Amino acid sequence: MFETAELGRTIRKAEFKRLAPILRQELLELQDTLHKNKRFPVILVFAGVDGGGKGETVSLLNAWMDPRWLITRAYDDDGDGDWNRPEFWKYWRDLPPRGRIGMFLSAWYSRPMLDRVYEKTDDATFANQLERIVGFERALARDGALILKFWMHLSRDAQEHRLTNLENDPLTAARVTKRDWEHWRIYDRFIEAAEQLVSRTNRGIAPWTVVEGTDPNYRAVTVSTLLRDAVARRLEEEPSGNNQGAPAAKKKSKGTKNKHRQAAASAAASKATAYEAARSITVLSGLDMSQRLEKERYKERLIDLQARLHRLHLAAKSRNVASVLLFEGPDAAGKGGAIRRINEALDARNYQVHGFSAPTEEERARHYLWRFWRRIPRAGHVTIFDRSWYGRVLVERVEGFASEDEWRRAYAEINDFEEQLNENNTVLVKYWIHITEDEQLARFKLREKTPYKRWKLTDEDWRNRDRWDDYEEAVNDMVQYTSTSAAPWTLVEGNDKRFARIRVLETYCLRLEKALGEPAE
């Protein structure tokens, strides 16, 4: 989940200096419109890793915007400070009215998170607490609130680095507490709980954005750009019946409409910026696509791994451990070849391969997950999906077959589906086999020349190449929202088929060994 926030995204100082006054002006104008038409409140939540820049970002927004219409709240470990009212009393008390922006630091996420990390609560209780939060945010969102949540992330090393830097600077040394270091020492537990927290409370009506917290410029620009765009978009929408404040606002909305149109236009103008450039760095940019494996070495490794997989496969079968393997990737990435190398090691009575393209009529008549649910393996069996339910957030998103609302809610639906597989003694391995644009072109050309491969190449394959960047963004979001410690994505460098096949086999062996509690060989 947090891989997407460890990519080294930065914005240089000069660029930031150019951008900041533009963003600032845009935010002020939107804030003014928001305040004047009083149609909805804005609720911003900042949470995440200590040192990820929650406080700095909030301070910056306070400096950039008009503080009269801003409410900022952080909450201490309250003890009896709130006279023993229910915890949410203080959050309700502090809610911004329509027309204002409220910024909440950790707030309702703090206690469930810390209780879980310090093992004061179990998983079920944690889940219930998160469900209460969902109910709270849903009630506010349905009443018209615009809710944006930012999870400020740092890698373990980046956190250590940042805490040390803060301590070394006399101006900031006091901000680092014992507790910050304590949290750093239990970083892995923290991240595991954070993954649960973000995925369970990431709803369309109150989405999380995971923000890479290392570079102050990048995180400031990210947060303010997202805030600007979300407010501008909502102001553009017609007031709905849900907003009690709407009648008063309706009269004014025409007068102010031009103004926020302007803001939106200037927003568009400042969009093609360093921020976009920073965002074009995705989880796929981090892959070393030059990796290769020599033929001799490949043959040895292949035989070893297939033998190892065969043994593990029999052990899994006898212990009723099922496997679901799914393969995604660009056309011609080599999914089929990798799948065959796995099949060779399995007992043919115990596995099934399902390829998926456009749904049939029977399938279209039901929920998109139906065709996958019905094919999941029984205990001890293996099912391999050549393309999968991730089509919803890849091809269907990029080609517009699914509406934004549909593909956005699919992340939660998919996480829920995979959680059930996971609970049911199923090893779930998700592969994205990646190739570069050039490599794909070379393979397409080869297919054209090779008679027995020509059928594999369609006009659609060529068309898809025009959308390469859109697919890359979709993959990045997919990894952000669906790569969890229980069901991680494996990104495979696929320019060299031999290298990719070995990575695929090895990953499956390792996951099986972990599930069976066997020592890695």
Cα gap 229→218, rounded to integer Å: 16
**Across the strands, what pairs with 42?**
101, 146
- Selected range binding a second copy among 221-229, 297-305, 403-411, 438-446, rule: CB under 8 A: 403-411
Asked if 118 interacts with a second copy (CB under 8 A), we say no
**Cβ distance to a second copy smaller for residue 135 or 286:** 135
Q: CA Rg, the chain, in Å?
A: 25
Please state, as a whole number, how many other Cβ atoms lie within 10 Å of the Cβ of residue 277.
Answer: 12
Tokens coding 99: 């027309």
Tokens coding 406: 């549909």
- Selected range binding a second copy among 135-143, 149-157, 160-168, 306-314, rule: CB under 8 A: 135-143
Q: Are 385 and 356 in contact (CB under 8 A)?
A: yes
Least CB distance to a second copy at residue 374 (A): 5
For a second copy, the binding residue among 15, 32, 192, 406 (CB under 8 A) is 406
Q: What is the DSSP string of 136-148?
A: HHHHHHHTT-EEE
- x/- binding map, residues 51-70, to a second copy, per CB under 8 A? --------------------
Asked if 354 interacts with a second copy (CB under 8 A), we say no
Asked if 287 interacts with a second copy (CB under 8 A), we say no
Asked if 207 interacts with a second copy (CB under 8 A), we say no
Residue 387 is which amino acid?
R
Tokens coding 474: 């979709």
For residues 326-365, b (16+ Cβ closer than 10 Å) or e, as one string?
bbbbbbbbbbeebbebbeebbeeebbebeebeeeeeeeee
Least Cα distance to 56 among 180, 213, 164 occurs for 213
DSSP state of 30: H
For a second copy, the binding residue among 12, 17, 142, 271 (CB under 8 A) is 142
Cα gap 174→177, rounded to integer Å: 7
Cα gap 432→411, rounded to integer Å: 16
Asked if 320 interacts with a second copy (CB under 8 A), we say yes
Asked if 400 interacts with a second copy (CB under 8 A), we say no
For a second copy, the binding residue among 14, 63, 79, 124 (CB under 8 A) is 124
**Cβ distance to a second copy smaller for residue 401 or 468:** 401
- x/- binding map, residues 214-243, to a second copy, per CB under 8 A? ---------------------------xx-
The continuous run of DSSP H or E covering 56 comes out as helix 54-64
Cα gap 144→246, rounded to integer Å: 10
**Across the strands, what pairs with 426?**
322
For a second copy, the binding residue among 72, 343, 425, 507 (CB under 8 A) is 425
Q: What is the DSSP string of 1-25?
A: -GGGG-S-----HHHHHHHHHHHHH
**Site residues (CB under 8 A) for a second copy, limited to 1-40:** 38
Least Cα distance to 376 among 311, 408, 313, 422 occurs for 422
- Selected range binding a second copy among 212-220, 415-423, 445-453, 458-466, rule: CB under 8 A: 415-423
Asked if 336 interacts with a second copy (CB under 8 A), we say no
For a second copy, the binding residue among 85, 120, 453, 454 (CB under 8 A) is 85
Size of the site for a second copy (CB under 8 A): 62
DSSP state of 240: P
Asked if 119 interacts with a second copy (CB under 8 A), we say no
Asked if 443 interacts with a second copy (CB under 8 A), we say no
Residue with tokens 């460890």: 6
Cα gap 413→426, rounded to integer Å: 18
Asked if 160 interacts with a second copy (CB under 8 A), we say no
**Cβ distance to a second copy smaller for residue 37 or 217:** 37
Least CB distance to a second copy at residue 242 (A): 7
Asked if 391 interacts with a second copy (CB under 8 A), we say no
For a second copy, the binding residue among 319, 364, 453, 463 (CB under 8 A) is 364
For a second copy, the binding residue among 245, 279, 356, 467 (CB under 8 A) is 245
Least CB distance to a second copy at residue 147 (A): 12
Alpha carbon distance, N-terminus to C-terminus of the chain:
28
Residues near 124 by beta carbon (within 8 Å), at least 6 away in sequence: none
φ, ψ of residue 124 in degrees (nearest 5): -65, -40
For a second copy, the binding residue among 376, 441, 442, 510 (CB under 8 A) is 376
Asked if 355 interacts with a second copy (CB under 8 A), we say no
For a second copy, the binding residue among 99, 329, 334, 391 (CB under 8 A) is 99
Least CB distance to a second copy at residue 203 (A): 10
Cα gap 138→211, rounded to integer Å: 23
Least CB distance to a second copy at residue 62 (A): 22
For a second copy, the binding residue among 311, 409, 456, 467 (CB under 8 A) is 409
DSSP state of 343: H
Site of interaction with a second copy (CB under 8 A): 38, 41, 83-89, 92-93, 95, 97-99, 122, 124-125, 127-128, 131-132, 135-136, 139-140, 142-143, 145, 241-242, 244-245, 320, 322, 362, 364-370, 373-374, 376-379, 403, 405-406, 409, 412-413, 416, 420-421, 423-426
